[in-house]
Amino acid sequence: MGTPTSARISDLLPAFFESDPPTVDGESPLVYTASLLRVNEAHLLPATAKRTTRTIGGTEIELCEAFGGYSVLKKASVTKPSDSYVMLWMKSGDFPVWVGTCKFSDPFEHLMTLFKLTRFGGAVLRKGMERNLVSLGDLVGLLRSGILSSEMLSDEVSSEPLFISAESAISEAIGMMLANHIRRLFIRGRPGVFLSDRTLVDFLFSPGRLELARDRPERWAEEAVSAVRTKTGRECPKLTVAGAAQLIGDSPDDCLLTSEGRVITRWDLVMKPWMAGMLDVRGG
């Protein structure tokens, strides 16, 4: 699926291994790993060691442990409220998410297939003994530079947002995100305003909230959505996918909104054109 190309990942991201993003070892407690997510404003933190091979969509792929907002929310959703503080000190490696891995020299199509199969906008690239997390943000950068392009328009790749009331409980927000495999919930009655898995993690692991978890663990995640920090999507006129890529911000949470109120994320800008066979690679 997608436009066939002979380009390799290393051709499109030659300077990729010059950066050194944070990782986790899986042995650290959840409270420490979540603090790394907050401080680094990261969407995913790859683990340094454990890997496995699993069959996804009929294809055997190598997976690597990673940790993100989804890890916290999934564990919180199945933990008794009274056990919340105990959960915070469990090893983060006890409840990872799994992202695909591939070689830096692999075809670009391999990377896109990993994103599609795992449904995560991240994968671990391997170059010898080096490991680094590649994300949809890196591919949005390729749209901005013209290395990737598409004739699709921003409206064509947009999605319907999912709404929640500001008075709803955080536990309801977590359930909605997990059930729908989404990272953003828009606040009903507040156009363009949303919370994300990352802003939920920021709230739950703030110093005041951690004190509450210690003293009254059953109250740790019991709060209204209105207490969580929100963000606002940026309005986007009808543009090409590449034009929309210029507007979307650099934070993993950032998104765009069409005049009809539909949402455009990094996934929409990169994966939807590729899955439609309309993502072109310069020199591919």
Residue 195: pLDDT band (50, 70, 90) is very high
In this structure, the answer to whether residues 59 and 162 fall within a common structural domain is no
The sheet carrying 234-235 orders its strands as 234-235, 256-257, 263-264
Amino acid 1: pLDDT: 46
Question: How long, in residues, is the chain?
Answer: 284
Residue 239's domain comprises 154-269
Of the three residues 148, 164, 193, the one that is the final residue of a domain is 148
In this structure, the answer to whether residues 121 and 176 fall within a common structural domain is no
In this structure, the answer to whether residues 59 and 112 fall within a common structural domain is yes
In this structure, the answer to whether residues 138 and 15 fall within a common structural domain is yes
In this structure, the answer to whether residues 178 and 137 fall within a common structural domain is no
Cβ pair 116, 247 in contact under 8 A: no
Average pLDDT of the chain to the nearest whole number: 88
pTM: 0.89
Tell me the C-alpha distance between 50 and 52, whole Å: 7
Q: How many CB atoms are closer than 10 A to CB 207?
A: 7
In this structure, the answer to whether residues 15 and 68 fall within a common structural domain is yes
Query: Is 281 inside any structural domain?
Result: no
Higher pLDDT, 43 or 228: 228
Residue 2: pLDDT band (50, 70, 90) is very low
Summarised one tens digit per residue, pLDDT across range 45-80 is 887 666 666 666 666 788 888 888 877 888 888 899
In this structure, the answer to whether residues 111 and 176 fall within a common structural domain is no
Average of per-residue pLDDT across 135-142: 94
Of the three residues 127, 148, 169, the one that is the final residue of a domain is 148
Amino acid 259: pLDDT: 93
Summarised one tens digit per residue, pLDDT across range 72-108 is 888 888 899 999 999 999 988 787 888 888 899 999 9
Average of per-residue pLDDT across 18-28: 78
Query: Is 204 inside any structural domain?
Result: yes
Tell me the C-alpha distance between 81 and 88, whole Å: 12
Using N-to-C axis directions, what is the helix angle for 69-77 and 197-204, rounded to 10°?
70
Query: Is 35 inside any structural domain?
Result: yes
Q: What letters, b where the CB count within 10 A reaches 16 and e where it falls short, cover 168-195?
A: bebbebbeebbeeebbbbbbeeeebebb
Q: What are the phi and psi torsion angles at 231 (to 5°)?
A: -130, 170
Give the CATH number, domain containing residue 95.
Answer: 3.10.580.10
Q: How many CB atoms are closer than 10 A to CB 46?
A: 24
Domain count, the chain: 2
Query: Is 138 inside any structural domain?
Result: yes
Indicate whether 133 pLDDT > 80: yes
In this structure, the answer to whether residues 125 and 76 fall within a common structural domain is yes
Higher pLDDT, 3 or 241: 241
DSSP 29: B
Of the three residues 148, 177, 204, the one that is the final residue of a domain is 148
Cβ pair 242, 146 in contact under 8 A: yes
